[in-house]
Amino acid sequence: MRTRRLAIGGTLLLVIVAVTAIGIGAVALTPGEVIAAIAQQFGISVGSPVSASTSSIVIELRAPRILAAIVVGAALAVAGGAFQSLLRNPLADPYVLGTSSGAALGAALAFLVPISGAAWELGGVQLAAFVGALLSVALVWRIAGIGSGEERIASVLLVGYAVASLLAAALSLVMLTSGANLRAIFGFLLGGLDGASWPRLAAAAIPAVAASLALALRGRPLAAFLLGDEAATHLGVNVQRERKIAIALASLATGAAVALAGLVGFVGLVVPHLVRLMVGPDPRAVLPLSAIGGALLLLIADTLARTIGVPVGVITALIGAPFLLWLLQRARAGYAL
Amino acid sequence: MSAGYELLGARGLAVDLNGTRILHDITLAIEPGERVAIVGPNGAGKTTLMRALSGALPAAAGEVILCSEPIQNLSRETIAHSIAVVGAGISLPFATRVDDLVALGRIPHGRGPSGASAHDRERAAAAIERVGAAHLVHRDVRTLSAGERQLVLIALGLAQETPILALDEPTAHLDLRHRMEIADLLTSLAGDETIMKTKRTIVAIFHELDLVREHFTRVLLVANGTIIGDGTPASVLTPALISAAWGISPERAARF
């Protein structure tokens, strides 16, 4: 089947790009050296012995960042694809329930907290961003009445927009009074993986990967949502329950991704559409392939970002926005987004 | 089928929507292979009746029986294996090919997280073939004409492979020829043997009384929230009942 071929090909490509990307940096390493260093970590010796410095560059410095890009890209693309399906809206992205503004506000407030300590250094800002993201979702959930049986999809989107705007206004106030911390907050808004380390990666990757996997495994009800609530009911889907589960999982994946990487835009919006162009709209094919595509896109964008020294969010926007415009051009030519 | 088997029925059914009683005192029993037209004026409760019979709305009083079981005792999945409902229309958020859409009708038969299997694709293709839409398989559903779109929606319902096919106004917005073609198709579909080894049962909301007389074996006339006529088209579609249901004079009613 086409989906399976694309999944296998995409995964192989992802491995090749990842090994190559680890080799790129101030100290250039060949793919052979990278593979040898990783293999040595698992107690397997490949070719000549690896120097301690090479091992340290590969394992301590670059591997966490590469894996962070893969995890964040995959989680954002899966969450975006899921939101687009379950809200039946092609413009939905992972941040549609105000996650971005909530996370940014949480992070901004954390930058202002004048405490320091080992635990805080490890991930106080990330934790605050994660909590902020989930709090904004909880607010939208409550106001829009998700799961009450009365919610309307359009009102979920509008409530999400309103809550995001409110939180963005609060963020602006915090930024105005943040003084020397303005640069750090701004960095979070542009997105970046500079702070990736093994402990931070592990803390964010566990919820991000678990939620993304669980979403991909629930593709059947999400597929039924394409036809609308009434038709999904007639196809045997418990619409209220499945929508609650899907929104919760997609929000968890987004929150974890945002905590690790800040606000990386366009990956979650554009990748699922690109996948739909290839395999059609069934989320059972779209979500797994989006995970691979999102990981690839963010890995390539982050490698570019650290090579030329700009935030990764700028690169994804530079790639994503023209791509979206191209999709819309095709809409006029017959594809119809 | 054993004696006393009840495919689809209602006993003393009442249905409320937002606290208002829409249907009351509905009692009926539908046998396998029947072609049932639900007719009546706008707002009489036809769609509400269809939604209650398919378990999409709860009963406020009485009960709906599906396959000899009270429908509230059946899981959504079990209901989806017994009755397919073809809605009055569909709006799709993404470009969707006809074959991809019809494959979604296989969702109740799916197992595990992967998409439509080769078998599902085969069944979907057979459903598309059955309604005579094979030439449309690669088209985007959103670019189809109203007549083509209705055929595809019926294929979506057929792909579900249920003994009962329910349709909400399948001839709405269609021209004369397409209305006749849909009515012919429904009659033909009722002759098919379903996976439950009985003839397929058709329940459809219809407005064209001439087509109902020609194509259906039974009519449920709904007016003012209840069934005021139930029987063969000849016995129900009389000037007296038409006049009572639509509130027109018996002289004018005699013309339909």
- B142 and A276 within 8 Å at the Cβ level: the answer is no
Kindly list the residues from chain A whose CB atom is less than 8 angstroms away from the CB atom of residue B116: 282, 284
* Residue A184 Cα distances to A107, A181, A195, B23, angstroms: 9, 5, 12, 62
- A227 and B140 within 8 Å at the Cβ level: the answer is no
What letter does residue A195 receive in the DSSP assignment? T
Taking the CA of residue B181 and the nearest CA in chain A, the distance in Å comes to 24
Q: Residues 6 or more apart from B27 whose CB is under 8 A from it?
A: B9, B10, B11, B12, B13, B62, B227
Say what percent of chain A tops pLDDT 70: 92
ipTM of the complex: 0.92
pLDDT digits (tens, 9 = 90+) for B52-68: 999 999 999 999 999 99
> Once rounded to an integer, what is the mean pLDDT over residues A123-134?
88
Rounded Cα–Cα distance for residues A5 and A289 (Å): 10
In contact, B180 and B171? CB cutoff 8 Å: no
* Residue A89 Cα distances to A97, A148, A153, B91, angstroms: 13, 21, 9, 11
Across A120-124, A187-191, A260-264, B32-36, least confident range: A120-124
> Once rounded to an integer, what is the mean pLDDT over residues B169-189?
94
Please, where are the H alpha helices in A218-311?
Answer: 219-225, 229-234, 239-261, 267-279, 283-308
What pLDDT, on the 0 to 100 scale, is given for residue A147? 67
Does residue B3 come out as left (phi exceeding 0), alpha (psi in the -120 to 50 range) or beta?
beta
> Once rounded to an integer, what is the mean pLDDT over residues B155-160?
96
Residue B104 contacts A, CB cutoff 8 Å? yes
Taking the CA of residue A297 and the nearest CA in chain B, the distance in Å comes to 22
Residue B122 contacts A, CB cutoff 8 Å? no
Other C-beta atoms closer than 10 Å to the C-beta of A30 total 11
pLDDT digits (tens, 9 = 90+) for A37-91: 999 988 888 777 888 899 999 999 999 999 999 999 999 999 999 999 998 988 8
**Which is it for strands B164-167 and B83-86: parallel, antiparallel or unpaired?**
parallel
Indicate the residue of A219, A220, A228 with minimum beta-carbon distance to B90.
A228
What pLDDT, on the 0 to 100 scale, is given for residue A150? 59
Structure tokens at A103: 């996370």
Residue A233 contacts B, CB cutoff 8 Å? yes
Taking the CA of residue A274 and the nearest CA in chain B, the distance in Å comes to 12
Rounded Cα–Cα distance for residues B98 and B145 (Å): 13
pLDDT digits (tens, 9 = 90+) for A255-298: 999 989 999 989 999 999 989 988 899 999 999 999 999 999 99
Q: Residues 6 or more apart from B108 whose CB is under 8 A from it?
A: A235, A236, B77, B80, B81, B160
Indicate the residue of A217, A228, A238 with minimum beta-carbon distance to B113.
A217
Residues 139-198 of B with CB under 8 A from A: 140, 142-143, 156, 160
Residue A120: pLDDT above 70? no
Which of the residue ranges A110-124, A133-147, A197-211 has the most confident prediction, judged by mean pLDDT? A197-211
Query: Which of B77, B79, B94, B203 has the most A C-beta neighbours within 10 Å, making it the best mutation to test the interface with A?
Result: B94
Task: Compute and round to an integer the Cα radius of gyration of chain B.
Answer: 18
Say what percent of chain B tops pLDDT 70: 98
